Structure 1
């Protein structure tokens, strides 16, 4: 009892002491009324956020807790000084939405020292010069990951107390204002991930207090500014993902080679060239050097580096050559080395890298050996990337690698069976395994389920695996085993791989029916079973929570109808069931798939119309449709293509460096498809998102070609061959300015070839053969490059390139199919002759000659063109 009493006394004393030393409410600064009013006004500038409106689970709308009856100094995100003025406002991750107006009450908080509005991606607007200059007491301004646009306000340069400025991950554009050079107290400057242009300002070298300078992911150009060597307090410099050129000045490298502070230097993803200054490797404080994805040349020189603390060296995708210097082992602190995609040569012993945990030697001209027994015992790799290193057998030292997370032995000369000891490689740790593009035939010990417990990515494509399809670990997310020789059925246990997002077993000899349960896997993003021998019906696919984006069942022996359960695949972008034996009508319900971009029903037994007045309205996002080699028929009304929104929209010029392809945004897989393009069946291994095509060939369509097809401004390929289309070729096809391939062969088209087609300056393939076209073939531009085969089988066509010459009775330039006047390429033609008709034919011909001879140049420049990547 006495013991209990003593414990109680001690507890009471401790509680009293804690209470007496804590800040009482009366000692807290009390908010001034005017400050509270300003904050409440600021709150009213934004809409109320409901919990379901939050962008992330960690977002918290702090302003929703602000109540007038409470002291504003106690509100979430508010800090006050002793006088009751608001000096700190932190609304980061608060789901702020809408513009920040120039007259916002925020700019009335003139005592603010710390303003944090970061991570509100729907917070937008432009920062006004006059408004921003009101906050002269600011020490910290953080607008990271908002959506501000326009130029960076010059008035920020008036905030002379700033030590921390973060404008990264916005949409700021233009040049960096020189006024920022007045911020001499600045220690942290981050402008990354914007659209800033121009040279990196040399005056940045005057901000000698900077410890971090982050300018990555912009459009800066020009050479490396030597003035940055003046930043002697700099800890981290990031200039990656820009358009910088020239060499790294040796003067800069030499001046910073004695820096005791610089630890991070990232110049990757630019166009730097020349040799790498050796003094960069001697910076005693440098921990990470990233020069990836540039154009550095010459041998790698590493010397006098005994004081180096470098732990990570990135030199991927450059033009470095010669042997990897043995002196690299003198970088005794080095644990990560990335040298892939260069021109290094020679034989190299892995034992030279016994101190590393991450090593990438892929895609050079190296020959790798691993004969050292001591090396096998001493090293424990975390990441080992040896793709394309002329390896002929599985390195035996791998058997001891029980901490390996990533292993890439792809594109080597491994052949035969995988040894059974290989199952002991990183059994509990291995997450990524790539053995693709070798000559592997199978496993020395056939597994029922592979043993790696943490494996997420398994790539065995392009090998010679035989036998049945084995099941990857239940942890697998991406499984690629296409282009092998596997046989047998797909084990239903695949349906239990609940983490599986990508399954590609295409181009094998698998057979049997597709497991019905496979379609109910709610985690699948991509299912590719094409080019096998599957038969039976397509199983019901997609549940309400399905995330399936790509379904490719083409080139099998599937029968029956398309299951209407696919209508629940609301994320579906690619549906390819071509080259099967499907007997069905056109699936009008595919119009209700909001994200569908590619629809391929080619080479099946479909029949009936593809238009119905009550069932068909058009496709919103469809960019490619292939209905060829079926028995679809009927007449297509003139407005048939009117509401195909994606192809109707004109595509702006796209920089080649920013090309995007269909597939997973993480680039683990890319969609592919076979199309009839430019007269050939072409496999598009990667599908550009700008590629638009329509193929209705080899069906039974009749009537006129819909004139609305001319509204498809972005169309690249059009194939209507092998049908019974009649009437004239619509002049509206002349508006398809992006068209590269046009096939109207084997129809019943009549009349003259519209001269409007001459304006298709990108047209590379034209086939109008086997119709009933008459009159002269238009000439000029691309039409002068086509051969006889483009026009054969039209007995009444004449002119180049056919041997049949046009007679005097043939028009010089054909009329349009509507009988309206057609003009020549400069706006004149036979009309010029009519100008002088009343004064005599001779005078008219003279006028025409004068006008034509003085016409402006038709094509005054060469336009850059994005071509297909097959």
Structure 2
């Protein structure tokens, strides 16, 4: 019995060792097999050699030359390990090329090695520069492709009909070219033709795209009458982008029809006169754009009863809306994050969204009142109520909102009283614009808690205070505008040595400052001495991609308004007297009025009506502080930057001696 057991255990052990040997042997043999097929490696190298690396051939700041790793040197023969190359682990075939933003520059034709990669399933060549070459018909060889992205790669000409042979292709992105359509891929689920020069109207044959879920035509030259009902026949369609063309939508659909449930609907610049009736059935909308149309009157009650739990962004700017039907106390969309009502004719009280709101624009309307319910908007990131008729005191809760708020725009209203004193520690504010109101009293010292602040504009008010030297510890502060107020006294408290180390622009014109110009103070403003600094100052940007909206608060050092870049004069050789106009009590170099040879008695400031009616003459030899508003998807305020062209020694020479 024992002998039998011993023999059995021996046989079992031998069996296990045999299996282990076979596993090790199989692994050793497989490790000897290269993952990369030689013919595919050769095709990749030929593809690489057909281009040069040009560091200007990309829009993406994070771009890098991926093909730089494609080399046989140093035992690097396995192309599956090369950057941007994806291989099938079992067979070792190249199934994906992810070469977006790779600085590729050159033309591409059908003899390129790329089109010998017959197992390719995913190809991304977006954001390169193929110098106007046509999309090669050789792409039709890649019959296994499911994903093709050629956006922003400078292709031109017709879309080759060979694309229609690729029956598995479901995602096609050709945005950012001037291609013309020669055929349609009826099995596509994603098609983006935005940012091209497509002309004419959209043909009805697009209704044959029965499987398409996302369809984009943004920013083309499309025009004419468009039978919108053809899109409503595509039951799978959830994202439709038509904005920034000159189409006129015609629809016969009504709420009784069976219609697709849209996720994203972009109908900006579509010559709409009213809210389309088919919207009544939409209960899954997340993004709705209807800006730059001709919609008049009240926002109908049925609109703010749809998609209550799904809406995240509603863009209704640049229409002729005068209010909301039945004036709801609080709008009902419970997850709304972006609401843009800019440039309408809204009257009465400010509509209050739910606390989920992050970006709220109501600039350039006729709003007169604002409920204290605005204090409940604890998620606010950007609030722009500029150019309205808002009046009364500014609620103290605005200071408390600063813990989350990044940009606060209240320019050109009728607010009066004092500025709230409740600016909290840890404030996130980067920009505050309270200019062109009737604020009185002092600047609240709690503003020194706004350590992230880069831009502060309180010009054209009735503020009566001394120079805010206590703001000097805000190292990020780049723009400080105090013009046309009743500031008085010396510009610096000599006992405290704050420096305003990041300051680029300061405007103190039309106040009642007096005494010596503090030359030693100016010498610490080192940020003004940097030539060609790369600091950026912009108020707000909203952008849209196929996946939805994106937003950011950033800054820019060139003033660009509606595509026009404006250049400004460089600093002059001495500062002129006009740089300090409106402060008759100031004296010392370089002013003609010398200190010590006169007795100055402060006089009451000129009437504020006069201040408001005249343009600030404060030049200081610097670029102008400029504020511009752009309609559509990019909404922003772009602010100029100071450049001093003379050397530091020159500055000391002018201001160093009194």
Please report the TM-score for the alignment, with normalisation by the length of structure 1: 0.56
Aligned equivalent of 1:802: none
CA deviation after TM superposition for structure 1 residue 384, in Å: 0.4
Please tell me whether residue 487 in structure 1 is matched to residue 368 in structure 2: yes
Alpha-carbon contact 2:64-2:101 (below 8 Å) kept? no
Alpha-carbon contact 1:189-1:210 (below 8 Å) kept? no
Aligned equivalent of 2:438: 557
CA deviation after TM superposition for structure 1 residue 276, in Å: 2.5
- Change in 2 beyond 3 A, CA 1:327/1:547: same
1:317 to 195, 218, 233: 195
Please tell me whether residue 662 in structure 1 is matched to residue 555 in structure 2: no
- Change in 2 beyond 3 A, CA 1:545/1:640: closer
1:221 to 82, 91, 105: 105
Please tell me whether residue 267 in structure 1 is matched to residue 145 in structure 2: no
CA deviation after TM superposition for structure 1 residue 191, in Å: 4.9
Alpha-carbon contact 1:660-1:689 (below 8 Å) kept? no
Aligned equivalent of 2:206: 328
Secondary structure at the aligned position of 1:359 is classed as strand
Distance 2:366 2:437 in 1: 15
Please tell me whether residue 517 in structure 1 is matched to residue 393 in structure 2: no
Secondary structure at the aligned position of 1:440 is classed as strand
Distance 2:149 2:581 in 1: 53
CA deviation after TM superposition for structure 1 residue 287, in Å: 1.6
CA deviation after TM superposition for structure 1 residue 398, in Å: 0.4
Secondary structure at the aligned position of 2:522 is classed as coil
Aligned equivalent of 2:95: 211
- Change in 2 beyond 3 A, CA 1:180/1:583: farther
Q: 438-447 or 456-465: which moved more?
A: 438-447
Distance 1:502 1:315 in 2: 31
CA deviation after TM superposition for structure 1 residue 644, in Å: 1.8
- Change in 2 beyond 3 A, CA 1:568/1:344: same
Secondary structure at the aligned position of 1:558 is classed as strand
Alpha-carbon contact 2:470-2:498 (below 8 Å) kept? no
Distance 1:534 1:744 in 2: 21
Alpha-carbon contact 2:135-2:155 (below 8 Å) kept? no
- Change in 2 beyond 3 A, CA 1:244/1:171: closer
1:252 to 138, 161, 186: 138
Please tell me whether residue 293 in structure 1 is matched to residue 176 in structure 2: yes
CA deviation after TM superposition for structure 1 residue 374, in Å: 7.9
Distance 2:381 2:104 in 1: 38
Aligned residues: 535
Alpha-carbon contact 2:509-2:618 (below 8 Å) kept? no
Please tell me whether residue 179 in structure 1 is matched to residue 55 in structure 2: no
Structure with the greater alpha carbon radius of gyration: 1
Deviation digits for residues 386-413 of structure 1, max 9, x if unmatched? Answer: 0000011110110110011111000001
Please tell me whether residue 703 in structure 1 is matched to residue 595 in structure 2: no
CA deviation after TM superposition for structure 1 residue 180, in Å: 5.3
CA deviation after TM superposition for structure 1 residue 526, in Å: 1.2
CA deviation after TM superposition for structure 1 residue 643, in Å: 2.3
Secondary structure at the aligned position of 2:182 is classed as coil
Distance 2:129 2:594 in 1: 54
CA deviation after TM superposition for structure 1 residue 538, in Å: 0.4
- Change in 2 beyond 3 A, CA 1:184/1:173: closer
2:387 to 507, 516, 519: 507
Secondary structure at the aligned position of 1:646 is classed as helix
Distance 1:269 1:208 in 2: 30
1:338 to 205, 216, 234: 216
- Change in 2 beyond 3 A, CA 1:686/1:353: closer
Alpha-carbon contact 1:208-1:232 (below 8 Å) kept? no
Alpha-carbon contact 2:396-2:420 (below 8 Å) kept? yes
2:225 to 347, 354, 362: 347
Alpha-carbon contact 1:302-1:328 (below 8 Å) kept? no
Q: 336-345 or 693-702: which moved more?
A: 693-702
Q: Name the structure, 1 or 2, with higher relative contact order (CA <8 Å, separation 6+).
A: 2
Alpha-carbon contact 1:670-1:686 (below 8 Å) kept? no
Alpha-carbon contact 1:482-1:506 (below 8 Å) kept? yes
Aligned equivalent of 2:40: none
Aligned equivalent of 2:342: 461
2:117 to 223, 228, 231: 231
Aligned equivalent of 1:41: none
Alpha-carbon contact 1:459-1:481 (below 8 Å) kept? yes
Distance 1:374 1:172 in 2: 51
Alpha-carbon contact 2:312-2:336 (below 8 Å) kept? yes
Alpha-carbon contact 1:380-1:404 (below 8 Å) kept? yes
Secondary structure at the aligned position of 1:509 is classed as coil
Distance 2:65 2:567 in 1: 26
CA deviation after TM superposition for structure 1 residue 183, in Å: 5.8
Q: How does 1:763-774 map to 2 (within 5 A)?
A: none
CA deviation after TM superposition for structure 1 residue 671, in Å: 8.2
Deviation digits for residues 203-249 of structure 1, max 9, x if unmatched? Answer: xxxx9932221222243322236321112122222222233321333
Alpha-carbon contact 1:508-1:532 (below 8 Å) kept? yes
Please tell me whether residue 240 in structure 1 is matched to residue 126 in structure 2: yes
Distance 1:241 1:500 in 2: 34
Aligned equivalent of 1:430: 311
Distance 1:357 1:548 in 2: 37
| Unaligned 5+ runs, structure 1 | 1-28, 30-80, 88-110, 115-135, 141-167, 193-206, 706-722, 728-742, 748-759, 765-816, 820-870
CA deviation after TM superposition for structure 1 residue 579, in Å: 0.7
Distance 1:549 1:436 in 2: 24
Alpha-carbon contact 1:526-1:551 (below 8 Å) kept? yes
- Change in 2 beyond 3 A, CA 1:763/1:383: closer
Alpha-carbon contact 1:288-1:312 (below 8 Å) kept? yes
CA deviation after TM superposition for structure 1 residue 581, in Å: 0.3
- Change in 2 beyond 3 A, CA 1:297/1:364: same
Alpha-carbon contact 1:618-1:644 (below 8 Å) kept? yes
CA deviation after TM superposition for structure 1 residue 696, in Å: 4.6
Alpha-carbon contact 1:533-1:557 (below 8 Å) kept? yes
CA deviation after TM superposition for structure 1 residue 686, in Å: 11
Distance 1:286 1:463 in 2: 43
Deviation digits for residues 1-54 of structure 1, max 9, x if unmatched? Answer: xxxxxxxxxxxxxxxxxxxxxxxxxxxx9xxxxxxxxxxxxxxxxxxxxxxxxx
CA deviation after TM superposition for structure 1 residue 639, in Å: 4.0
| Unaligned 5+ runs, structure 2 | 1-19, 37-59, 86-90, 544-550, 596-614, 625-651
Alpha-carbon contact 2:516-2:587 (below 8 Å) kept? yes
- Change in 2 beyond 3 A, CA 1:473/1:573: same
Aligned equivalent of 2:43: none
Deviation digits for residues 89-125 of structure 1, max 9, x if unmatched? Answer: xxxxxxxxxxxxxxxxxxxxxx9x99xxxxxxxxxxx
Q: How does 1:55-66 map to 2 (within 5 A)?
A: none
Aligned equivalent of 1:604: 485
CA deviation after TM superposition for structure 1 residue 352, in Å: 0.7
CA deviation after TM superposition for structure 1 residue 323, in Å: 2.2
Aligned equivalent of 2:609: none
Distance 2:523 2:259 in 1: 69
Secondary structure at the aligned position of 1:534 is classed as strand
Alpha-carbon contact 2:426-2:451 (below 8 Å) kept? no
CA deviation after TM superposition for structure 1 residue 746, in Å: 11
Distance 2:364 2:292 in 1: 14
Aligned equivalent of 1:395: 276
Alpha-carbon contact 1:463-1:483 (below 8 Å) kept? yes
- Change in 2 beyond 3 A, CA 1:171/1:430: closer
- Change in 2 beyond 3 A, CA 1:297/1:469: same
- Change in 2 beyond 3 A, CA 1:297/1:699: farther
Q: 442-451 or 323-332: which moved more?
A: 323-332
Please report the TM-score for the alignment, with normalisation by the length of structure 2: 0.72
Alpha-carbon contact 2:580-2:618 (below 8 Å) kept? no
Distance 1:282 1:574 in 2: 56
Alpha-carbon contact 2:358-2:379 (below 8 Å) kept? yes
Distance 1:553 1:452 in 2: 29
2:453 to 572, 575, 578: 572
